[in-house]
Amino acid sequence: MDEPVALSLAVEQYLARLRVERRCSAHTLDAYGRDLGALVQWMTANGHAAWCSLTSEALRTFIASEHRRGLSGKSLQRRLSACRGLLRDLLRRGAIAADPSAGLHAPKAPRKLPQVLDADEMGRLVEVPTDVPLGLRDRAMLELFYSSGLRLSELCGLRWGALDLAEGLVRVDGKGNKTRIVPVGRFARDALQAWRAQATVTAETPVFPGRGGAPISARAVQLRVKQLAQRQGVWKRVHPHLLRHSFASHVLESSGDLRGVQELLGHADIATTQIYTHLDFQHLARVYDAAHPRARRKPGSPG
C-alpha cells in the first residue's frame, strides 16, 4: 500500500469510529479531518512512512511548523488535540508502541474577555414595547435571559413545567444533562406571567414556541435579539450569550461571590467563571481612575 494512503487510511478509520462510537457531529469530524490531514501531509513530506516512526520530537516539529505558518494558539490547541486522539487510538489498538503526544502542549491561546452591556444598556434593551406583535414574548425572553443567565439552548428548550413563578425559580437542564435551579427576578416573572396569559398552556408547552408549536430555534432567537437591540438603540454586537455575560458580570460586581455565580451559570469548573473577575477588576480600575485624585499622572507631569 502506498505510504500516504496507509497513513490516510488510519485517519479515515479513526474518524469512522468517532462517528459511530462517540456520535461526533459532522462539524467536529470535518475539523478533525482537516487537522489530521495536515499531519499526514507533513509526515509524507518529511519522510515518515508509518505512524510508528512519528516521535515526540517530530510531532513537536510539526506543531512548530504550523505555528510558523501563522496558526493561532487556539487552532494549534485543536490541531494537537486531534493528533492526540488519533495517537491514543493507535496505541490502544497496538499500531504504535508509545504515544508521541504524551506531555506535549500547544502554545496557550490568549483569552479574550467577553464584552458586556452596562446596566443602562441592559435596561434599555429589555424594555421593549409590549403593545406590538410578539412584544410580550420578546420582553419575557429578554428579561429571562438577563434575570437568570440562561444559555441559548436552555432558553429554547424551556417548558412551562420547569418554571415556578410563584416562588421565582426555574429548573434548567444544562450541559451534560446537569440540572440546576436558578432564581427568576421580579421583572422577568411579571413578563412571563403576561406572556403566559396569552394562550392556554400545559407543563409540556414550550415557553417560547416556534413554528408548529415546537420549541423556538436557536437561530430565530439570535436574529430576534439582534433586531431588538438595534430597535432599542443598543449598538454593540448583541447576542444571547452577551446577555449571559452581562448577567454574570453584574451579579459578581454587586456580590463578589464567585462561587455563587459559578452555581448560577452552571459551570462545572470555577476556572471558567473566573474570567468575570477580570471583567469586575476592569470596572473597578475605571472607577479608581475616575475617582482617585492621584490615580493618574496629569499630562506633562514628570515621571
From the candidates 78, 139, 151, 245, which is the catalytic residue? Answer: 151
175 is annotated as an active-site residue: yes
Chain centroid offset of residue 62 CA? 29
**Dihedral-angle region of residue 149 (phi above 0 means left; psi in -120 to 50 means alpha; beta otherwise):** left
241 is annotated as an active-site residue: yes
267 is annotated as an active-site residue: yes
245 is annotated as an active-site residue: no
From the candidates 175, 186, 219, 278, which is the catalytic residue? Answer: 175
296 is annotated as an active-site residue: no
Residue partners of 252: CB distance under 8 A and separation at least 6? 258, 261, 276, 277, 279, 280
Note whether 163 and 170 are within 8 A (CB). yes
- Phi and psi dihedrals of 172, rounded to 5? -115, 130
226 is annotated as an active-site residue: no
From the candidates 48, 79, 139, 244, which is the catalytic residue? Answer: 244
3-state secondary structure the chain: CCHHHHHHHHHHHHHHHHHHHCCCCHHHHHHHHHHHHHHHHHHHHCCCCCHHHCCHHHHHHHHHHHHHCCCCHHHHHHHHHHHHHHHHHHHHCCCCCCCCCCCCCCCCCCCCCCCCCCHHHHHHHHCCCCCCCCHHHHHHHHHHHHHHCCCHHHHHCCEHHHEECCCCEEEEECHHHCEEEEECCHHHHHHHHHHHCCCCCCCCCECCECHHHCECCHHHHHHHHHHHHHHCCCCCCCCHHHHHHHHHHHHHHHHCCHHHHHHHHCCCCHHHHCHHHHHHHHHHHHHHHHHCCCCCCCCCCCC
Note whether 63 and 100 are within 8 A (CB). no
From the candidates 196, 226, 239, 241, which is the catalytic residue? Answer: 241
Give catalytic residues, as residue numbers.
151, 175, 241, 244, 267, 276
